[in-house]
């Protein structure tokens, strides 16, 4: 699976920083993919529930 994603601001190919799990409520976790754009330094993420 390819985790590369495009920057929503400038459309450049962003680099993946990691995929931590953030807490959603007491028992649920949401895994997110964190990206950083090398062009405009925007940091953004995509989330998906496990
Ligand atoms: Zn960008």
Rounded Cα distance, 16 and 10, in Å: 16
Is pTM beyond 0.85 here? no
Does 21 have pLDDT greater than 80? yes
30 alpha carbon to ligand 1 midpoint, in Å?
24
33 alpha carbon to ligand 1 midpoint, in Å?
16
Structural domains counted in the chain = 1
* CATH number for the domain harbouring residue 31: 2.20.25.420
Q: Which domain holds residue 39?
A: 5-49
16 alpha carbon to ligand 1 midpoint, in Å?
13
CB-CB contact of 22 with 28 (8 Å): no
47 alpha carbon to ligand 1 midpoint, in Å?
19
Question: pLDDT band at residue 4, thresholds of 50, 70 and 90?
Answer: low
């Amino acid at each position: 699976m390819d985790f590369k994603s495009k920057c929503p601001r400038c459309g450049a190919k962003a680099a993946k920083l990691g995929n931590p799990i953030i807490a959603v409520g007491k028992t649920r976790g949401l895994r997110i993919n964190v990206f950083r754009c090398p062009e405009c330094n925007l940091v953004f993420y995509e989330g998906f529930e496990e």
